[in-house]
Structure 1
């Protein structure tokens, strides 16, 4: 790639472009992919933003590992969860989107104004706990996937990826970062290609998708909670609201007063954006489960624990192309999701502390925001070197999200149903019902998982 090798103005040395130049030219290279899309589709894609990026970031290496474990262990049996979780995911993310657009503040900023500080800081603590484990798991997953195809030691790649991501977040504007994130979403279609190459049983797939199959075992329920936890994750709530605020800032609305309120046209556009992003997220989840079910479970391989193992196992069963596509997906989704994990943590804590904080601010102007971002990355990095089992982090970080999400969803539903917060833009009856349903489903699933794990160990 020319932007990785040629010396450019503003580079950090001969042949070494700075992170800003790297990101700018990388975005230009990614945008060239759009020339292959029909004009109408290009226009539709151009109108998408925070919803698309949030949905794509949901399919991080931790999530891919959870879906891979699911497909290998249970075959097509949990394909139905993609349909089941879609409306729940849309409801929560749409409420977060509306909250950011109407109030002009992020989720933590609104909580700060409406609830006691202990509620606010408890919510931020839950987010930070889940995020640092996810960051550690995702950095490790990216590094191991890269080692598989390059032979470079993953212990070198983990800090290298962390340093690259921190550099890009520190020295690039929000608009440039958002543009690259947007085009990175195309990487997710690698999993669709891998699924087709795995030659699945389409009759069995249709049946498993439309007819739910449930097993009353600890392993099945833990996997189900893991799917919900990685699909409906706390960091997505904060990121979605925060990005709506960033979009407003990018349009020149710098103060809260300028950002407050949203037109019907803006809310409808946001709805399409969220629906598209969440559909993409669950579409990819569906194909990862399908791929590992068709290629691994169908051939008796049921004991994999990471996406990297799934990719390795795919090679002899589905061929080199499926292996390369699956591995590329792990690396690409990591580059998209890790910055969002760290960024959502920084947004939440900066808003909770009433600090200045935006990816458009320079580090010297938003020291607290960037300090939190760097600390989140640093703690996640340390987890990889502290002897924590990578397999356990990848899977159980998703389960932890499933346990932590319900109280955060309750806060989101309460806030977006409050006329003092939303004015005339409060949730409609259907959206409010879906929000409460999501909170109940997540809470019940987590409680049942705990009980079955105690009574009937996996």
Structure 2
């Protein structure tokens, strides 16, 4: 079974009834999910609040280099479990709750509880990140006092913005809209907006007056420019792919 999964991953075949454009659409969506603009505001603002030093940047790089491969491995594991357990039974994964079905069959109730706790932690953490990022973004744009360590009375508009963002998210869910569809659309538009956050960072990284000795060198600029090309390609392709494929339908 493992050999068959590896062979299918290395030599993918587009099933009948589906188009290659659909797979490109989801490739762009996954790319947008890997580096969403809100994370730029969240981590940069958090770095200011936590008073990061060069040592913290090293730790952050280690987290990225370890976290991204681990996240990719776990994502592929989920897809593999779904292919082995759900696909033979003609079960299509629609809501998030169906993702845990392979774990429930393989590990029983204990494994199911562990996965549910993990999903709760992941979704709760993501909600906190986006809430804080929204507060950071609005407060910094309008020049408000901001900071999670500031009391609400000292940064009232910052805290109100976070509460309003959280309530808006709950209101969207209360309409009964499919949260998975909302997530898919949001990450696609994240890919569209990504150049607006990446290009300023690349410009600042090349400013010797701001960066000092940490300014980008030729090698980092080469990597940054290459990645900028990938970002621009994904940004320009996202909307056409969404229209052509009917949002991956």
Q: Is the Cα contact below 8 Å between 2:147 and 2:158 reproduced in 1? A: yes
Q: Is the Cα contact below 8 Å between 1:343 and 1:373 reproduced in 2? A: yes
Cα deviations by residue, 1:66-115 (Å, 9 ceiling, x for unpaired): xxxxxxxxxxxxxxxxxxxxxxxxxxxxxxxxxxxxxxxxxxxxxxxxxx
Q: Is the Cα contact below 8 Å between 1:218 and 1:453 reproduced in 2? A: no
Q: Is the Cα contact below 8 Å between 2:144 and 2:158 reproduced in 1? A: yes
Q: Is it true that 1:281 corresponds to 2:71 in the alignment?
A: yes
Q: 1:411 aligns with which of 184, 189, 200?
A: 200
State the partner residue of 2:165. 376
Q: Is the Cα contact below 8 Å between 2:45 and 2:136 reproduced in 1? A: yes
Determine the C-alpha separation between the residues in 2 that align with 1:374 and 1:415.
Answer: 32
Say if 1:296 and 1:428 are closer, same or farther in 2 by CA, change over 3 A: farther
Q: Is the Cα contact below 8 Å between 2:29 and 2:188 reproduced in 1? A: yes
Determine the C-alpha separation between the residues in 2 that align with 1:357 and 1:427.
Answer: 30
Q: Is it true that 1:331 corresponds to 2:120 in the alignment?
A: yes
Question: Which stretches in structure 1 are left out of the alignment for 5+ residues?
Answer: 1-200, 249-258
Cα offset for 1:360?
1.0
Q: Is the Cα contact below 8 Å between 1:221 and 1:445 reproduced in 2? A: no
State the partner residue of 1:202. 2
Determine the C-alpha separation between the residues in 2 that align with 1:321 and 1:218.
Answer: 40
Q: How does 1:8-407 map to 2 (within 5 A)?
A: 201-207=1-7, 211=10, 213=12, 217-248=20-51, 262-263=53-54, 265-297=55-87, 299-301=89-91, 303-312=92-101, 315-316=104-105, 319-407=108-196
Determine the C-alpha separation between the residues in 1 that align with 2:203 and 2:88.
Answer: 45
Determine the C-alpha separation between the residues in 1 that align with 2:11 and 2:154.
Answer: 52
State the partner residue of 1:429. 218
Say if 1:435 and 1:299 are closer, same or farther in 2 by CA, change over 3 A: farther
Q: Normalising by the residue count of structure 2, what TM-score does the alignment of the two structures yield?
A: 0.81
Q: 2:240 aligns with which of 410, 435, 451?
A: 451
Determine the C-alpha separation between the residues in 2 that align with 1:349 and 1:214.
Answer: 45
Question: Which stretches in structure 2 are left out of the alignment for 5+ residues?
Answer: none
Q: Normalising by the residue count of structure 1, what TM-score does the alignment of the two structures yield?
A: 0.47
Cα offset for 1:218?
3.0
Equivalent residue pairs, number: 243
Q: Is the Cα contact below 8 Å between 1:409 and 1:435 reproduced in 2? A: no
Q: Is the Cα contact below 8 Å between 2:22 and 2:245 reproduced in 1? A: no
